[in-house]
Amino acid sequence: MKRLNNKVAIVTGASSGIGRATAILFAREGAKIIAGARRQSLLDTLIDEIASTGGSALALAGDVQNEDYAKALVEMASTEFGGLDIAFNNAGTNGPMGPTQDITLADWSNAVSTNLTAAFLGAKYQLSAMLKRGGGSLIFTSSFVGYTVGMPGVATYAASKAGLIGLAQSLATEFGSRNIRVNTLLPGGTDTPMAEAWMTTDEAKSFVKGLHALKRIAQPEEIAQSALYLASDMSSFTTGAALLSDGGVSINRT
């Protein structure tokens, strides 16, 4: 049985990494996908791959920092597929890395806008569409960084990702009585293009793997499985949660 049969889902950051793997998995589980990211060519490849396995997906390229784009994604879901049931607000950026006193206000603002404000803008329009359907599941991609683990030189990333947890908790209480669940997904180290900025050498990769209790990093498909749990009825009594899918990095001391 397909867990998302006849559901409509928006996935942002869908051109690569966790977003791409999740869009493919959601489609395989029966969802109709609206895929969002900045790079049209990569989105086109994704749509072709989903179609080749019998799935249904459309793409819209744009910048999640733009409110008109957030609105357009929801309008596409409603116009082309009849509504919206699931939103995986996954697009993000590492932001500036290095000594905090060297971070410019412009770099801070861009990272917060991409990681946190964009999630708010997405939710603003997604929630209204979900209410018309009688409920739904809203998911933000946060991080263990700034939640269970403090790391030096990533103040902007930590602050913006931690903010998503507060946003989700507030929305969960605001819309829980109207059958909308809101959760954050907190991946550990994952083999994605974004993660390469943290692991630029073999030594760095080995160090990051060692931080995890499982002594490895995740494949994007593994994190997608956790997103599927939050999107589907498997998590029907889960809301306001910060779901760690982090390979034990939050508890590891070895």
The C-alpha atoms of residue 89 and residue 85 are separated, in whole angstroms, by 13
Could you tell me if residue 49 is inside a domain? yes
pLDDT of 199 higher than 90 = no
List pLDDT tens digits, range 234-248.
999 999 999 999 999
Helix (H) or strand (E) holding 57: strand 56-61
Cβ(34)–Cβ(10) under 8 Å?
yes
Could you tell me if residue 215 is inside a domain? no
Could you tell me if residue 162 is inside a domain? yes
Could you tell me if residue 206 is inside a domain? no
pLDDT of 136 higher than 80 = yes
Query: Residue 174's domain is classified under what CATH number?
Result: 3.40.50.720
Number of domains in the chain: 1
Could you tell me if residue 208 is inside a domain? no
Structure tokens at 79: 């116009």
pLDDT of 49 higher than 90 = yes
Could you tell me if residue 249 is inside a domain? no
The C-alpha atoms of residue 31 and residue 154 are separated, in whole angstroms, by 35
Could you tell me if residue 253 is inside a domain? no
Confidence of residue 212 (pLDDT cuts 50, 70, 90): very high
Amino acid (1-letter code) at residue 135: G
Residue 200: what pLDDT?
78
* Catalytic one of 69, 147, 157, 229: 157
Q: Is 157 a catalytic residue?
A: yes
Range of the domain at 118: 8-192+220-242
The share of the chain scoring above pLDDT 90, in percent, equals 92
Q: Show the beta-strand stretches assigned E in 101-211.
A: 136-141, 180-187
